[in-house]
Amino acid sequence: MENERGRALVEDGDLCERKNGRGVDPNRNWAVNWGVKEKDYDAKEEYPGTAPFSEPESTMLKSLIEEFKPHAVVNWHSGMSALFTPYDHVARMPTGTGAEAMLDFIKKIDRAHCANACVLGSGGQGVGYLAHGTAADYIYDVMKVPVVYTWEVYGDLEAPYEDCYRAFNPTTKEAHEKLVRDWVGAPITLVSMLPGHPDININLSHGGENTPVVMNDASIASRRAYLADASPLDGGYARMALTFASVAACAVFSLRRRRMRRAQSTSPGSSTKRASVV
């Protein structure tokens, strides 16, 4: 867990807290465009610290990525339903064949795990505000990890502004279980596609022959059926975890979206939604 002290504050009842124990937002403490403040900047929401990497959480994660050298980093959030690429600090995506592959991957993940309901594109385009000093932008632009995402896997856009628990968390057992079923296999789907990225070289060969990566409607349906049948007792999830670990391609950590009162944002191919929360 990256933000242990911030998590403790939430568990003690401050359900809208997003900063660490020192009052700093770890996801504004990275060096790309650090310290830039938008007109609606609120230090209670996103104080970036005294300097880039002033906080142990961001420094720790940066060191972990430097050591591990992942092919992909997925930054898990809640607050809305979206699959975002960099950039967060400007309202545009990166360009080039690698960026095109990232967009193609999330289109497939949207179909397989989000029922074609996720907002797609860059965070700066889709979330309704610009965020400066984020992990995703630094990891992609400076650390040169070829695939970097922010996945927003849940959000209640009808929740009152003050009700952060409802805004960021399913409130029934059935909704929670559905959320887990929908998303538990998404990292495996991503890993299965990584060999198709132009900047990644992963050997998934068996017996000397390369295994083709196929993501069509039939393979997606088969994957979802497997995930629905798997349970912690029958070893299904364990097999998925082993596959994920064996490829050693993704580093994952969890955050939540900034609370916002904003004009509604619209993303191409999606319905108009209230810009929500990190």
Mind listing the pLDDT tens digit for each residue in 7-32? 899 999 999 998 999 999 999 999 99
Q: Tell me the per-residue pLDDT of 86-131, one tens digit each, with 9 for 90 and over.
A: 999 999 999 999 999 999 999 999 999 999 999 999 999 999 899 9
| pLDDT class of 44 with cuts at 50, 70, 90 | confident
Residue 210: the pLDDT is 46
Which tops the pLDDT comparison, 107 or 229?
107
The β-bridge partners of 233 are: none
Judged against a pLDDT cut of 80, whether residue 54 lies above it is answered with yes
* Alpha helix stretches (DSSP H) within 32-172: 43-46, 56-68, 97-113, 123-126, 135-141, 164-168
Least confident of 13-17, 21-25, 74-78, 247-251: 247-251
Q: What is the pLDDT of residue 267?
A: 39
pLDDT tier, 218 (very low <50, low <70, confident <90, very high otherwise): low
Check residue 232 and give its pLDDT: 41
Residues in the chain, overall count: 278
Q: Would you say residue 48 has pLDDT above 80?
A: yes
pLDDT at residue 39 is higher than 70: yes
Q: Residue 173 and residue 194: Cα distance in Å, rounded? A: 33
pLDDT for 225: 53
pLDDT of the residue at 219: 54
Q: How far apart are CA 226 and CA 141, in angstroms?
A: 36
pLDDT at 79 over 90: yes
Cβ neighbours of 177 (radius 10 Å): 11
Please report the pLDDT score of residue 275 as a whole number. 31
Mean pLDDT of 142-166: 95
Q: With 70 as the cut, is the pLDDT of residue 252 above it?
A: no
- CA dist 9 and 5 (Å) reads 6
Concatenate the DSSP letters of all residues of 39-50 into one string: TT--HHHH---S
* pLDDT band, very low/low/confident/very high, at 142 (cuts 50, 70, 90): very high
Tell me the C-alpha distance between 54 and 139, whole Å: 17
Q: How would residue 201 be classed by pLDDT, with cut points 50, 70 and 90?
A: confident
Over residues 163-180, the pLDDT tens digits come to: 999 999 999 999 999 999
Dist. CA 153–CA 158, nearest whole Å: 16
Single-letter code of the amino acid located at 166: R
Alpha carbon distance 176, 218 (integer Å)? 26
- Residues in contact with 181: Cβ distance below 8 Å, sequence separation at least 6, in sequence order: 227, 228
pLDDT at 4: 87
Average pLDDT estimate for 62-74: 95
